[in-house]
């Protein structure tokens, strides 16, 4: 992928991230800082060794499949602390301390669903194609095994690891979005970039 | 079908909820997220309506038969039976309760498909309570006028 292609792809991701951060901001009621994603493109099986953000710590991750002109998985990753903070922000007075873990799962899963739908859904306006989404799944644990799990399911997937932080400094919340594309989708994406000149 | 359950409290001085002239309806909330069901219920109940909840489209259909709701909110992306399948099923059953789609899916084509399947309103998550409340009130008012 040359510089122009990478630049286009960064812009595509940026548009999605803009929508995703707007949704997160509306849900949390706080300003969300968004950085320009630093793209790492590699085979999915190589991804765990490239992760720097969360290391081996247990994280909350919501994974959702999408399909359309581009197909793959998007994963929203939060530190446990960030998940707890956001759950309190989202549930507000509806929070039941006796069911905290269950409510964290419910709130973070829905948060992931909304953020990923806004992230990927915005591409429909770029590619004039509709995307369909799977049911989001929630995972608690280290990120590397979660990503490695994909190897058995979909050989040949490419990972576009956008170290995009959707941070809410007010509450020390840190989130990251990872996108895994099937190889054919990445080729289509590169083709679309090339066509735009 | 469910319209008979809409209760006017116009002349009912004993009514505990609802203001004079308002509609009190039974609203079925279908969403696999417990978090969203709580938020939707909170917004709906703030208007004085009753709520019943289902975690997917299949459960939702069962509750449509049993509870005969006046209005329904439905998520799209759910296990077992998703929102589009639910809408298609409702169309086949000739149910009159208006359906409001409440979804994270922001795509214009998705909205069009929902409308084609009979959805009366479309609210994107995350929503402000008044967005959903306005859609609900508009649907119930329109439904009531149709039956008069």
C-alpha B98 chain-centroid distance: 7
Span B51-73, mean pLDDT? 96
Calpha distance B110→B87 (Å, rounded): 13
CATH number reported for the structural domain that contains residue A80 in this entry? 3.40.1550.10
**Percentage helix, strand, coil for chain B under 3-state DSSP, each rounded to 5:** 45, 20, 35
The dihedral of CA A125, A130, A136, A142: what is its sign?
A: negative
A27 in B contact zone (CB under 8 Å)? yes
Q: Best of A23, A27, A114, A129 to disrupt the B interface by mutation (most B CBs within 10 Å)?
A: A114
pLDDT of residue A163: 63
Total domains in chain A come to 1
Q: Best of B34, B110, B126 to disrupt the A interface by mutation (most A CBs within 10 Å)?
A: B126
- What are phi and psi for residue B29, nearest 5 degrees? -110, 120
Q: Is the pLDDT of residue B84 over 60?
A: yes
The answer to whether the Cβ–Cβ distance between B42 and A94 falls below 8 Å is yes
* CATH annotation of B2-143: 3.40.50.2300
From the CB of residue A123, how many other CB atoms can be counted at a distance below 10 Å?
Answer: 22
The answer to whether the Cβ–Cβ distance between A114 and B125 falls below 8 Å is yes
B125 in A contact zone (CB under 8 Å)? yes
pLDDT of residue A196: 59
Of the candidates B115, B35, B82, B81, the one whose C-alpha atom is nearest the C-alpha of residue A87 is B35
A131 in B contact zone (CB under 8 Å)? yes
pLDDT of residue B2: 43
Chain B: give the shortest CA distance to residue A146, in Å. 21
Tell me: the pLDDT tens digits for A152-186?
455 667 777 766 777 788 888 888 888 888 777 77
Q: What is the mean pLDDT of chain A?
A: 83
Tell me: the pLDDT tens digits for A6-37?
787 788 888 888 899 899 888 888 888 887 77
Higher pLDDT, A127 or A4: A127
Residue span of the structural domain in which A127 resides? 3-195
Which of chain A's residues have a Cβ under 8 Å away from the Cβ of B110? 130
Residue A38 token pair: 């630093």
The answer to whether the Cβ–Cβ distance between A118 and B42 falls below 8 Å is no
Tell me: the pLDDT tens digits for A108-126?
999 999 999 999 999 998 8
Q: Is the pLDDT of residue B21 over 90?
A: no
Q: What is the mean pLDDT of chain B?
A: 86
The dihedral of CA A20, A22, A26, A28: what is its sign?
A: positive
Residues 6+ apart with CB under 8 A from A4: A193
Residue A164 token pair: 């995009």
The dihedral of CA A72, A76, A77, A83: what is its sign?
A: negative
- Spatial contact of A48 and A42, defined as CB atoms under 8 Å apart: no
The reported pTM is 0.86
């Amino acid at each position: 992928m040359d510089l122009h292609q990478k630049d286009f792809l960064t812009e595509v991701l940026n548009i999605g991230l803009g929508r995703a951060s707007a949704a997160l901001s509306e849900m949390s009621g706080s300003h969300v800082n968004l950085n320009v994603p630093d793209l790492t493109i590699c085979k999915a099986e190589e991804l765990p060794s490239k992760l720097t953000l969360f290391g081996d710590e247990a994280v909350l991750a919501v994974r959702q499949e999408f399909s359309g002109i581009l197909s793959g998985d998007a994963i929203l990753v939060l530190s446990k602390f960030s998940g707890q903070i956001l759950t309190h922000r989202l549930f507000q007075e509806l929070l039941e301390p006796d069911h905290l873990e269950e409510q964290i799962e419910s709130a973070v899963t829905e948060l992931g669903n909304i953020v990923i739908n806004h992230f990927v859904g915005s591409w429909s306006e770029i590619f004039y194609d509709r995307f369909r989404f799977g049911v989001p799944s929630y995972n608690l644990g280290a990120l590397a095994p979660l990503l490695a799990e994909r190897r058995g399911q979909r050989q040949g997937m490419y990972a576009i690891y956008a170290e995009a932080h959707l941070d809410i400094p007010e509450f020390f919340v840190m989130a990251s979005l990872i996108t895994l594309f099937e190889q054919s989708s990445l080729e289509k994406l590169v083709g679309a970039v090339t066509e735009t000149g | 079908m469910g319209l008979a359950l809409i209760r006017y409290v116009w002349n009912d001085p004993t009514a505990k909820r609802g203001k004079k002239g308002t509609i009190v309806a039974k609203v079925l909330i279908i969403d696999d997220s417990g978090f969203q069901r709580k938020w939707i219920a909170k917004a709906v109940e703030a208007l004085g309506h009753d709520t019943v909840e289902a975690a997917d489209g299949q459960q939702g259909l069962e509750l449509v038969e049993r509870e005969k709701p006046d209005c329904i909110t439905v998520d799209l992306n759910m296990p077992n039976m998703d929102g589009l399948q639910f809408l298609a099923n409702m169309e086949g059953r000739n149910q009159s309760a208006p359906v409001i789609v409440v979804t994270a899916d922001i795509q214009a084509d998705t909205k069009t498909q929902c409308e084609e399947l009979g959805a009366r309103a479309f609210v994107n998550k995350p929503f402000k309570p008044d967005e959903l409340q306005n859609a609900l009130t508009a649907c119930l008012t329109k439904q009531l006028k149709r039956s008069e």
